[in-house]
Structure 1
Amino acid sequence: MKRLILTRHAKSSWDDPTMADHDRPLNERGQAAALDLGLWLASRDYVPQEVLCSDAIRTWETWSGIARGLPEGPVLALKPTLYHAGPDVMLAVLRHAQADVVMMIGHNPGIAEFAHRLVARTPPSPQFTRYPTGATLVVDFDTPSWAEAGFGQGSPVDFIVPREIAA
C-alpha cells in the first residue's frame, strides 16, 4: 500500500508585479494556511516520509509551513521538473519515490488534472474540481511500488482546502 498527499501550493503574493513567477513567495494568508495544513495532516496521522516539491519559492515555502505543523518532517527534495508540470511528468516523478507515504507539492493547472486522473472516483467536495490554493488530496494506491502506480488507480482517503480547516 502506498499513500500520496497531493498539495497545491498555498496562496502566493502578487505584491511585486515585476517579480518572476518562479520567485513569488507566499503571502500572509498562504503562510497561515500552510501551517493549518500541517496541523490538519498531523491530526489525522497523514505524515509524509518523503516530500517531492517544485523548486518555486511558493511551493517550498508551503512545505516549510506544513512541516512546522508536523511532529516530524522528512527532508525536502526540490524537483525543478515539477514547476508547472503536467500530469504525465508528475506521475513520472512519483514513480521514482521511495517511501510508502509521499507528499507532492505543485501548481495548477497540472496538479488539478493530475489529481483527477489519479483517482478512480472523485471526492465529494465541490472544491476538488477547482483545486484551489492549498487544496490537499490524500489518496491510497494498492500497489507494492510507486513504479506501478498509474492513472485511475487511486482511492481517495481525504480532501481538504485550508478554508475548511479554519471553519
Structure 2
Amino acid sequence: MKTLTLLRHAKSSWDDPVARDFDRPLNAKGRRAAAMIGRQLKSLDFKFDHILASPAVRVMETLDEVWNGYGRRLEPVWDKAMYLASGASLLDLVHALPEDADHVLMVGHNPGLEDLTLDLTLDGELRERAEDKYPTATVAQMTLPITRWAEAQSNSATLIAFIRPRDLDPTLGPDTP
C-alpha cells in the first residue's frame, strides 16, 4: 500500500508586479492558509518520506509556511516538470517515484493536481468534494493498493482526506464582495 498526498500551493498575489508567473509570491491570506494546513497535517499525524515539488516561488513559499505550522522542515526534491503540469504528466512523475518511498507528498498547481486526484480515485463523497472545487492550499490524500509506484492507475485509489483551508477557518474561504 502506498499513500499519495497532493497539496495545491496557497493563494498567490496578483498585485505583485513580477515579470514571470513562475515568480509570483503568496499573499497574506495564502500564508495564513498554508500555516494552518501545516498545523492540521501535524495534528492528523501525516508523515512523508519523499516530497516532490514545483520550484515556482508560490510553491516554495507555501512549503515554508506549511513547515512553520507542521513544526518540522522537510526538504523536497524540486522538479520543474511539476510546474503547471497536466494530470497525465503528474501521473508519469508518480510512476517514477522512488520505490522505497511509501508516503509521498507532491506540491504543485491546478488544474493538474485536481485532474490527477480525479483520475486516480474511486467514486465517493470526498471525491465529489474534490470534483466540485480544489481550492488553493487544499490537501488531498489517497491510498493506492500497490507495492510499486509504476502500478498506479486510474480509478484505483481511495481518497481518505480532502482538507480545504476554509474547512478549518471560514475566513480562509472565498472572498466575499
Q: Same fold (TM over 0.5)?
A: yes
Deviates more, 1:106-115 or 1:82-91: 106-115
Q: How many residues align?
A: 167
Q: How much identity, in percent, do the aligned residues show?
A: 35
Tell me which amino acid in the other structure corresponds to 1:142. Answer: P
Q: 1:88 Cα deviation (Å)?
A: 1.2
1:105-134 Cα offsets, whole Å, 9 max, x none, are 111111111111110124166454221111
Q: Within 1, Cα distance between the matches of 2:143 and 2:127?
A: 16
Aligned to 2:157: 154
Q: 1:15 Cα deviation (Å)?
A: 1.4
Q: Is this contact kept in 2: 1:95–1:149, CA < 8 A? A: yes
Work out whether 1:7 is the aligned partner of 2:14: no
- One of 142, 148, 172 as aligned partner of 1:145: 148
Aligned to 2:175: none
CA gap 1:85/1:68 in 2 versus in 1, 3 angstroms = same
CA RMSD of aligned residues (A): 1.6
Q: Is this contact kept in 1: 2:114–2:130, CA < 8 A? A: no
Unmatched 5+ stretches in structure 2: 171-177
Deviates more, 1:61-70 or 1:48-57: 61-70
Q: Within 1, Cα distance between the matches of 2:62 and 2:37?
A: 9
Work out whether 1:114 is the aligned partner of 2:116: yes
Q: Within 2, Cα distance between the matches of 1:145 and 1:74?
A: 23
Tell me which amino acid in the other structure corresponds to 1:45. Answer: D
- One of 121, 130, 140 as aligned partner of 2:133: 130
Aligned to 1:95: 95
Q: Within 2, Cα distance between the matches of 1:44 and 1:120?
A: 23
Tell me which amino acid in the other structure corresponds to 2:118. Answer: H
Question: Which of structures 1 and 2 has the bigger CA Rg?
Answer: 2
TM-score normalized by the length of structure 2: 0.87
Aligned to 1:47: 47
Unmatched 5+ stretches in structure 1: none
Q: 1:71 Cα deviation (Å)?
A: 4.5
